[in-house]
Structure 1
């Protein structure tokens, strides 16, 4: 993998210098073509292009049998067009910089080179989506379908601090609380109105009280709006709510409580919409794969990776949610995701690529070994 470093860097540059903000469908489509070109060059076969609601996703599937391993990543970023002018692609002093390099275009290149190093990819699926940064609205079903039945989902999102793997991620729920009141003149006859702002204040406090810091549950009122003019009793108001949970039971508790909210101000009505967006990635989904990664790292002469819990969500939440063992944070080592100091540590790229290749090979071999054992137990006959 050290010999591959110049090619790794060239491919990362090719991806990073094609800007791909999630909000710009044309930019995402152009980025997909670049990823497809680089992937075809490394893997020797072109991907399927899957377009949903104008968003372009790419899928490579190898072999005619069932999928055993899913490698998962995304090529959209949070950086707007023109970011290269202020945050150009550079490699200096062993540090690579550029918009989206850490989150997560370097991870895509790691996946491509890891697969390119293996002699037999039968049973592997590589899925690269184009809408992760906006909640994966068009790729969620694609991800869940690709993960179902796999022995492992390996997520090439950026590593945690110090190169740690992400073995727990909080689940996410998103809500909108809409309040309907009744307008009236604020000076002449305010008593004839039903004040939606006052009702919204009651709901903000009720929502905030649902949090449980002891178990890591946060319930955060975020964007709020009410009223239309300064001299009118507000007839409408709305509130957005962001929920993060470490366990599925907490996600269910909050969902029930949100939909059970009731108005306090006489005459006001509520409408609560939304719900769980991503289930939590719990430690039980990652534990066995983390142990496997530690064993393989030792065989490669690498330090054993640590597992950490993080608050942010990824598409790994979806793969864990369908029951597929999932290991996240296998991408680049560095830092500054979504920030001005986004960067990748160049020296870590070869070892990270080697670890991903070893994990894929190990999961595939385990599946083939099970198949051989099953065949032998039937006297060598195929069923």
Structure 2
């Protein structure tokens, strides 16, 4: 890879600085268009806006991928050449429609708040303006850039997953515009994989007062299994098993026939997730006359800190320090993202979006003075990994 020329990236960074107020205008627009994951009408409206905005700011082409149950997705393409680089950004949020009334878009000094501003509409807008800066400064890349905006990341990518995986298979590198970690804005070079399971226990019902000895409680069995499963958590390896929701029984005076637990599994490696998966499906009852039924599976593989991912981070760190004059850190996280879906197929660097705090929380916000540098960092990474096309 050719080293990013200092003068080229400085011109791009200057253009981003010049267009800072315009970037802020688009940020306000997208935050004030609420996009709760469960509201298809609102999501579809925003998908159309993203398609039109991409063509307006960046050029290239855009396509709306229509989905029946969930929100539509948007696939955008800019430039041409051998190979492609993929940029990922989701535009759904966890905030129900109407949240804006209680948590409006607001700028207070260096703090910009509003539903979804940090996770992850700020990063999405930064991505658009990074591409706009490349286009406006006359830079053509040697690889095609594909930008995929998905509408269902917050609910586990039920409809976007096959599209994202297909694009990843065709990509040389993937950049995910999820927010950075902590107020340091650290990039995410490792994400745990996720497993989602459901354990149903069947016992024998009976009257709790008249015939308590004739019943076998499913709740009792489930409680024992929960203790066993939680005992499998190993913080030294990063493997966690957590029962987050339970239900069971019919009445207080009935020995419960049924009980159910919903289980969350996290692991740093595919090997570890597969080990836990096998263990869960081989669980045996701890009490006689009870039955266990396990369903579910691995939802997404880990984003592992491979040599390629390490190299991508070191490149980003060097660009940040030597050309943009700021320090960049890396961290690992237990949370999942679109990056987990691409990691098995292409080298993926995550957390390139906004710097701030409060994802999914009432204090959600981003730091205004970090937007330009993050925008320029993405542009620098695109120049480095896609290369500048020489003019003929």
1:335-374 counterparts in 2 under 5 A? 335-365=357-387
Q: What is the aligned counterpart of 2:258 among 215, 225, 236? A: 236
Secondary structure of the corresponding residue to residue 228 of structure 1: coil
| TM-fit CA distance, 1:301 | 3.0
The residue number in structure 2 matching 1:203 is 225
CA contact (8 A) 1:4 1:350 kept: no
| TM-fit CA distance, 1:42 | 0.8
1:259-274 counterparts in 2 under 5 A? 259-274=281-296
Secondary structure of the corresponding residue to residue 126 of structure 2: helix
Q: What is the aligned counterpart of 2:88 among 55, 59, 72? A: 72
Q: Deviations over 1:142-194 (max 9, x none)?
A: 11111114221000000112111111111111110011122222222233323
Q: What is the aligned counterpart of 1:302 among 322, 325, 341? A: 325
Secondary structure of the corresponding residue to residue 45 of structure 2: helix
Secondary structure of the corresponding residue to residue 14 of structure 1: helix
The residue number in structure 2 matching 1:42 is 57
The residue number in structure 1 matching 2:164 is 143
Structure 2 CA distance for partners of 1:81 and 1:109, relative to 1, 3 Å:
same
1:86 correspondence with 2:107: no
The residue number in structure 1 matching 2:13 is none
- Give distance in 2, aligned partners of 1:321 and 1:210: 26
Which shows bigger deviation, 209-218 or 58-67?
Answer: 58-67
- Give distance in 2, aligned partners of 1:154 and 1:80: 28
- Give distance in 2, aligned partners of 1:298 and 1:217: 34
The residue number in structure 1 matching 2:205 is 183
CA contact (8 A) 2:38 2:70 kept: no
CA contact (8 A) 1:11 1:38 kept: no
The residue number in structure 2 matching 1:16 is 31
1:102 correspondence with 2:121: no
TM-score by length of 2: 0.90
Where does the alignment leave 5 or more consecutive residues of structure 2 unmatched?
1-15
| TM-fit CA distance, 1:336 | 1.0
The residue number in structure 2 matching 1:380 is none
The residue number in structure 1 matching 2:12 is none
CA contact (8 A) 1:185 1:231 kept: yes
Where does the alignment leave 5 or more consecutive residues of structure 1 unmatched?
370-383
CA contact (8 A) 1:18 1:34 kept: no
Which shows bigger deviation, 1-10 or 31-40?
Answer: 31-40
- Give distance in 2, aligned partners of 1:270 and 1:325: 39
Secondary structure of the corresponding residue to residue 300 of structure 1: helix
Q: Deviations over 1:311-332 (max 9, x none)?
A: 211111111122x111111001
| TM-fit CA distance, 1:138 | 1.1
CA RMSD of aligned residues (A): 1.7
1:141-180 counterparts in 2 under 5 A? 141-161=162-182, 162-180=184-202
Q: Deviations over 1:12-71 (max 9, x none)?
A: 111000111112222222222232232222122452111233321111123565542100
Secondary structure of the corresponding residue to residue 35 of structure 1: helix
CA contact (8 A) 1:14 1:34 kept: no
- Give distance in 1, aligned partners of 2:79 and 2:148: 15
- Give distance in 1, aligned partners of 2:324 and 2:35: 36
CA contact (8 A) 2:35 2:46 kept: yes
Number of aligned positions between the proteins: 367
CA contact (8 A) 2:321 2:328 kept: no
Secondary structure of the corresponding residue to residue 245 of structure 2: strand
The residue number in structure 2 matching 1:318 is 341
TM-score by length of 1: 0.92
- Give distance in 1, aligned partners of 2:305 and 2:90: 23
| TM-fit CA distance, 1:304 | 3.5
Q: What is the aligned counterpart of 2:276 among 240, 249, 254? A: 254
The residue number in structure 1 matching 2:140 is 120
